């Protein structure tokens, strides 16, 4: 999952980033509203953690901007403001949840997991395709009782595809998911093809992987009809 943390308190921003990276999220930081606005315009995010009290920007304006440009990320407002009006305005603009500072990092993670389950219609923390099962809590994959050794990036890609079953994901979307802001990183889009090849090879030892389809010239998808 690709997360944008918008927070001007650098100590808190770094604490959030450290915690979420350990929980297998990829995180970008924006310490100003202007930086956040630019990142939202050019990147695809699964979550945006938004502080309303930014020095150069009204946080709710960022939320409105994001919805106007079609940003589909789930927004969680993180703020010291406790007034009901702020909460209602944020929810009216499309925020998915609201946490008042100070908050527990474990509670934040629980809220994010709940939103993920709701967004993708998950009733538990396990994703299945055929007899393969990915546990999003332990971040492992099994076939029946056998554990399969995928690298972190391979598991990132497979999990993301499973969360978007039957939807074509472009190489760009997959790259941004595992590398973050690719405009700032040195990456090769062929890496996605190499990772998919390795996933097929490792899973193919246990069962057919015809469900992991290549969409020529675009990207990849998990087709449940072939599972």
Domain positions in the chain:
2-119, 126-226
204, two tokens: 């193919």
More confident position, 210 or 113: 210
| CATH fold for the domain made of 126-226 | Arc Repressor Mutant, subunit A (1.10.10)
Report residue 214 as tokens: 């290549």
The predicted model gives 1-12 an average pLDDT of 92
What is the C-alpha to C-alpha distance for residues 56 and 140, in angstroms, rounded to an integer?
42
| Bigger pLDDT: 38 vs 138 | 38
Confidence of residue 183 (pLDDT cuts 50, 70, 90): very low
Domain covering 2-119, topology: Rossmann fold (3.40.50)
Collapsing DSSP to helix, strand or coil, 199 comes out as: helix
Burial class (CB in 10 A: 0-12, 13-18, 19+), 30: buried
| Rounded mean pLDDT, 215-221 | 92
- pLDDT confidence tier of residue 189, bands split at 50, 70 and 90: low
The per-residue pLDDT for 16 is 95
Phi and psi at 100, nearest 5°, equal: -90, 140
Q: Is the pTM of this model over 0.75?
A: no
Whether 33 shows a pLDDT value over 60: the answer reads yes
pLDDT band at 58 (very low <50, low <70, confident <90, very high): confident
pLDDT of amino acid 66: 87
pLDDT at 23 exceeding the cut of 90: no
User: Rounded distance, CA 95 to CA 48, Å?
Assistant: 10
Which range of 1-10, 151-160, 193-202 scores highest in mean pLDDT? It is 193-202
Compute the average pLDDT of residues 9-28: 92
Which residues on neighbouring strands pair with residue 212, listed in sequence order? 222
Q: What is the mean pLDDT of residues 17-28?
A: 90
């Amino acid at each position: 999952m690709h997360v944008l943390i918008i927070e001007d308190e650098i100590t808190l921003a770094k604490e959030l980033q450290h915690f979420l990276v350990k929980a297998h999220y990829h995180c970008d930081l924006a310490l100003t509203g202007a930086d956040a606005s630019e990142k939202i315009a050019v990147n695809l995010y699964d979550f945006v953690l938004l502080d309303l009290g930014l020095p150069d920007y009204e946080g709710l304006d960022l939320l409105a901007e994001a919805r106007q440009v079609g940003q589909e990320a789930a927004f969680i407002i993180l703020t010291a403001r406790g007034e009901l009006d702020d909460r209602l305005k944020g929810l009216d603009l499309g925020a998915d949840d609201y946490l008042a500072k100070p908050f527990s990092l474990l509670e934040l993670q629980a809220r994010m997991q709940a939103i993920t389950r709701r967004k993708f219609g998950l009733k538990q923390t396990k994703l299945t395709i055929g007899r393969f099962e990915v546990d999003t809590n332990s971040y492992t994959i099994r076939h029946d009782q056998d554990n399969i050794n995928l690298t972190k990036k391979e598991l990132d890609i497979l999990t993301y595809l499973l969360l978007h079953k039957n939807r074509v994901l472009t190489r760009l979307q997959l790259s941004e998911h595992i590398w973050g802001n690719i405009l700032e990183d040195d990456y090769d889009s062929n890496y996605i093809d190499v990772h998919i090849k390795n996933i097929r090879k490792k899973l193919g030892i246990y069962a057919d992987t015809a469900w992991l389809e290549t969409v020529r010239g675009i990207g990849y998808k998990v087709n449940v009809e072939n599972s």
